[in-house]
Amino acid sequence: MNELNLVFPDLPYAVEEAMNRLRINIKFCGKNTRKILLTSCMPNEGKSTVSTYLWKMLAEAGFPTVLVDVDLRKSVLMKRLQADAEKETKGLNHYLSGLAEYDEVVYKTNIDNAYIVPCTQLLENPSPLLEDVRFRELLDKEASPALGCTEPMMFALGGAITRKYAPGKVLRVDMVGCGLMVTGVQAVGIPKTGGKTGAFLAAAVGIVNGDVDACKEVLRNVTPEDVKSAEELVKSATFTLDMDNSTGKQVYFKLTLTTDQHVATVIFEDEHHTWTYLEVDGEVVVDNRRPVGEMLIPANDIDWNEFTIENAYNWCKTAPISEFGRAKEAVEMNYIVAKDGLENPRGMGIQTAKVLQDNVKSGFVADDEITEVLIWGTAGADARMGGSDYPTMVSTASGNQGLMVVMGPWASAKYRKMSDEDGYRAVAFALLMNTYMKYLSKEYVYMPPTCSCATTSAPAAAAGVAFLHGLTPQQINDMLCTSQVQMCGVVCDGAKPSCAFRMFVALFGALEAMMMAEKGIRATNVEGFVHDDLKVTLENIYRLQHDVLHNKVDAILWDIVKEQKTIH
């Protein structure tokens, strides 16, 4: 660890005693008080003095303490403490801009237990540094690996969790969930099963050999022998499935496992991988359920003055390439899945991308940039809906969306022979645009009644292509608004083999909207739900989801599934 020698001017006795009383009072606040923020409304009110000497006294009392100087515009600490090697010192500003690692900006000092993260280069406008952190953290939060479609993953994870607490001979497995959860699990392939489908088998495979610790990759260790055992379990035990929309939660799933020794129940809410309730033999083990009024709505935690198309665009253009590690990881992961979709048709998939690629080879379809974007933007969804065994980098809880927003821009960059760095920046922008649009659906962010694969991920993928083509943030706003004209109100009728086909149609339309925006043509506020501003457009569509579609689509769809006797 780097070191700094500091000089602390002596304080008047009365001031020193006052500081010491402050230190003692803070100590009596309890052992959980670990972070202290000092701020004030006006300059020259003593923030630097109080924080510096409080830090020193805490350290001298035996408490390892770090002073973080976040005054990026007018810091005086380095000068006041007569820090040595000031010109060579890297500080908080270097870390926030990606020019230094964490270990490079934390310094040991000549005071035992006292460490400092200094501010070493003052900035006129430090806000872009803070925006960088927010955008990178948002990418890391909403882009993460998952194996298989979210519905069978959740059923398998529920089975694995309850099996951990309920050993013995399995007698019955009872499941209920929100409408899109219980319908979407019916037709998509389950990873590691060779394309087999169904709620019962997904839960059974999780019971047989699900890896709870792997969470969204719960089925990663499943073998063909496990699949056979799961199929036998479905035959020997009682499995039931029903819909329950009464909870008010957009994501809801409950699984109860009954064995000859125990009964265990797990409940998932708000997110596909988050279990909020666990009960074993009548005893509550975990209960983190929240009322409907407190459900997870990421939009409520976003500063919409900062999270704008323009700010995201500028960050993706200018941030250090080190900030785009998640985009690089997403490309590497999702390329494998898309390639799997083109080379290994499976299950019930209708092979949207492969049919298009075959027609390029036959000469019926032109081999151009749009075709490449369409092929690679949809191939992964073909694979994933068929039960591909490869993990996917998801976007806002959707693997299909992650596949499209990553591979669409990446295919454009490769076709145009642009650098990998250009491709990663475009992919990051597409991921952020998908998050931006999904968040504006509020409580429907992770499972809306409309088809987000068509209404957000396809336009977001096209926005990544537009980023590479040099469109401005305003032009991208215009193309995203126009994209809503063709797909606004298209309902989600559950995950299914034909998802890639709908995504193909939406992406083709979004690319046309991009070409229109480049020429100054766009849909305006005379076009129904469309407004001149994308944020207002999506707020209008939210009203459609909340006031018209909420729960109604699910109920109709579940009735149809029962009538067609496809529950399994």
Query: pLDDT tens, 539-558?
Result: 999 898 889 888 788 788 88
Q: What is the pLDDT of residue 72?
A: 76
Q: Which two tokens stand for residue 534?
A: 């994308």
pLDDT at 207 > cutoff 90: yes
**DSSP E strand stretches across 110-153:** 114-117, 143-147
Q: What is the pLDDT of residue 523?
A: 92
Residue partners of 268: CB distance under 8 A and separation at least 6 = 154, 157, 158, 251, 252, 253, 254, 274, 275, 276
Q: What is the pLDDT of residue 433?
A: 97
Over residues 31-67, the pLDDT tens digits come to 777 788 888 887 778 888 888 888 888 888 888 899 8
pLDDT at 132 > cutoff 80: no
pTM of the model: 0.76
- Residue 387 burial by Cβ neighbours in a 10 Å radius (0-12, 13-18, 19+): buried
Which pLDDT band, with edges at 50, 70 and 90, does 122 fall under?
low
pLDDT at 102 > cutoff 80: no
Pairing type for strands 238-243 and 263-269 reads unpaired
Rounded to an integer, the average pLDDT of 395-407 is: 93
DSSP symbol at 444: G
DSSP symbol at 267: E
State which H helix or E strand residue 256 sits in: strand 252-259
Q: What is the pLDDT of residue 349?
A: 62
Residue with tokens 């597409």: 430
Give φ, ψ of 255 to 5 degrees.
-130, 130
**Single-letter code of the amino acid located at 336:** I
Over residues 359-376, the pLDDT tens digits come to 999 999 999 999 999 999
Give φ, ψ of 8 to 5 degrees.
-105, 110
Residue with tokens 């407190």: 294
Give φ, ψ of 360 to 5 degrees.
-70, -45
What percent of the chain is predicted at pLDDT more than 90?
Answer: 49
Q: Which two tokens stand for residue 518?
A: 């480049």
The Cα diameter of the chain in Å comes to 89
Choose the weakest-confidence range: 80-94, 139-153, 194-208, 443-457: 80-94
pLDDT at 131 > cutoff 60: no
Rounded to an integer, the average pLDDT of 165-175 is: 96
Which pLDDT band, with edges at 50, 70 and 90, does 10 fall under?
confident
Q: What is the pLDDT of residue 330?
A: 96
pLDDT at 150 > cutoff 90: no
Q: Which of 133-142, 231-240, 540-549 has the highest mean pLDDT?
A: 231-240
Q: What is the pLDDT of residue 155?
A: 95
Q: What is the pLDDT of residue 98?
A: 63
Give the integer Cα–Cα distance in Å for 365 and 498.
21
Which pLDDT band, with edges at 50, 70 and 90, does 335 fall under?
very high
State which H helix or E strand residue 311 sits in: helix 309-318
